[in-house]
A and B are shown apart, each in its own frame.
Chain A
């Protein structure tokens, strides 16, 4: 993508994704999960990635970490091309990148003690000294707001969802990574607990100097933690820009519809009149041209004929649309 590099104009990128394509074969057909996505994340930055179920945001996250190999394209982490690495070379990179999942209870082994769960990454990374391991585990558990003495010998079922997510965060932090992908880390949690975990993630980011890719479907949650936001629809990026700017002046009609669809906790605000019509088409047979055109109020013949390229519309804001709102 010619203008793809425009979005990667981030200073000092820790992560750079170039023209990434991920396709799954299903029988004789193909799911186009991620199609030609390019983006970059600066060191110390949080990039929010939003989109509805099935838009490919989790697949993109997994392809970045090489948990799912890309069909084509490159993933550069600190200058190293991960897509070209195999075996040991890739394993050496892994401690620097971690992942936090949506369902904290399901992502902890129910039969293992919390101390062992959090120490596991250290064992895998070859920390031989048991005392050192315990020290690091205690340190990271305290950092996420848990009392090590009280939790290390207990089992996951003894904890609430919010506490389990703290344990998952501790496990992700124990190797002192540079980069963490948070895949819907708070969507399984209650509102009052969600705020605790979001604040904790922000605090950990500062304390450990982390770079984050924050994947979520909730725009307000994404805005609360992100420096920049990327909006994805049916495998393609629609828009990328600084958080506040993107929410104030969305350029892509899909971004605008997503923002309008958020229920506002204020009875004086009438629910949006103009909600997105219809549902996303199947990623097995994405529409030609712009993939959003079948639900877009602005679509015309050109949208069916030409794939819109990501181009600059304002400082730092890029949109893939033939008829942008700004």
Chain B
């Protein structure tokens, strides 16, 4: 990333009190994102990717304990007053969630939800907000937008609902869009359409985007940089091409290897990762991936590897036995 960052996340940690003890959802994460850039955050359920996005938005559960700094456009959001934060969330940072059925209000029409946003944040009168709403729905590829304004969410398909959610997110021209698994609930042909839509609108508006997903396939073609999360930590981070060309963290490589490949012959056994992620209420002393890692050594069990930079520019990883070296040893 070159130039000043639009967003910089510094040493962010999130703890949630649970009946079984404190759950460390996000474990000291540092990330940065430039204007107009796309950052992919990849990880499995419970790795902390959604909690991290909520920490950026300051939308954490009430009991959560947040530490660190979230600098957006020169302001530390963690220290911002509620009213200023509300304005900022509306105008500058928008979010698209996984399930468009639950993020839209089922008892209000599409028009009410969209026009309300425009009136509130852009101070438009009803007629102007309505015109703007129709333009936005057309821009996100909704046919017959005039009629759609009078419909309720349940009258639209999942793909159309997600387009509406995107239209609302884009309505105030945000500088940053956080898309949290925006296509996971959608069919594959619709997924491609929605990802294309997001990419197109992003280019057109020179908007930065954080694309959160469990699917390495989704980030591969559509991000500038990728951060891989495991058990609350960023375990590898690199420009997208560099990451796929030269994975260093065994978890990243194992995650990629576990995906069924469309060009593999039928009945090819998959490279499954044994075991499962550690219990987040019982943090391990060593590397969180160590119990499942094929390159594990005593060192991995004794202490956590820090996220350190590789020789390649912008590539960092948290591993004592990065693959280029581990492979050399095992060969």
Contact = CB atoms under 8 A, between A and B. Distances in A.
A279 B159 CA distance: 8
Most chain A CB atoms below 10 A, which of B220, B272, B273, B276: B272
Q: Which bucket holds chain A's interface residue count? A: 35 or more
Given A162-B276, A262-B262, A270 B221 contact: yes
A192 interface: yes
Interface in A195-250: 195-196, 198-199, 202, 217-221, 223-227, 243-244, 247
A264 interface: yes
Contacts of A198: 260, 270, 272
Nearest to B258: A195
Most chain A CB atoms below 10 A, which of B45, B158, B195, B215: B45
A200 B45 CA distance: 21
Interface string A183-197: 000000011111110
B100 to A, nearest CB: 13
Given A162-B276, A191-B258, A264-B262, A53 B220 contact: no
Contact of A195 (B193, B244, B263, B271): B271
Given A52-B187, A198-B260, A264-B217, A275 B192 contact: yes
A86 to B, nearest CB: 37
A53 B187 contact: yes
A194 B220 contact: no
A267 to B, nearest CB: 5
A269 interface: yes
B171 interface: no
A309 B188 CA distance: 26
Contacts of A279: 157, 159-160, 190
A217 B187 contact: yes
A111 B240 CA distance: 46
A110 interface: no
A265 B258 contact: no
B260 A272 contact: no
Contacts of B254: 192
Contacts of A297: none
A192 B255 contact: yes
A276 B160 CA distance: 15
Interface string B5-47: 0000000000000000000000000000000000000001100
A261 interface: yes
A263 interface: yes
B262 A219 contact: yes
B256 interface: yes
Nearest to A257: B189
Contacts of A218: 188, 260
A169 B94 CA distance: 42
B214 A275 contact: no
Nearest to B266: A243
Interface string B238-254: 00110010000000001
Given A191-B44, A194-B258, A279-B157, A263 B273 contact: no
Contact of A190 (B45, B190, B240, B241): B45
Contacts of A217: 187-188
Contacts of A221: 260
A261 B216 contact: no
Contacts of A270: 221
B191 interface: yes
B244 to A, nearest CB: 5
B262 A263 contact: no
A177 B195 CA distance: 42
A33 interface: no
Interface string B165-195: 0000000000000000000000111111101
B266 A192 contact: no
Given A217-B188, A263-B215, A265-B256, A224 B264 contact: yes
A43 to B, nearest CB: 17
A192 B192 contact: no
A271 interface: yes
Nearest to B270: A195
B214 A190 contact: yes
B61 interface: no
Contacts of B190: 52, 279
A262 B271 contact: no
Contact of A269 (B218, B220, B265): B220
A220 B259 contact: yes
B220 A265 contact: yes
B269 interface: yes
B261 interface: yes
Contacts of A192: 44, 254-255, 258, 272-273, 276
A256 B27 CA distance: 43
Closest 9 CB pairs of A and B: A263-B217, A195-B272, A195-B270, A52-B187, A192-B273, A224-B260, A190-B44, A276-B189, A195-B258
Interface of B: 44-45, 157-160, 187-193, 195-196, 214-218, 220-222, 240-241, 244, 254-256, 258-274, 276
Interface of A: 52-53, 160-162, 190-196, 198-199, 202, 217-221, 223-227, 243-244, 247, 257-272, 275-276, 279
15 contacts: A53-B158, A194-B258, A195-B272, A198-B272, A224-B266, A243-B266, A258-B189, A261-B192, A262-B217, A263-B195, A263-B215, A265-B215, A265-B217, A267-B244, A276-B193
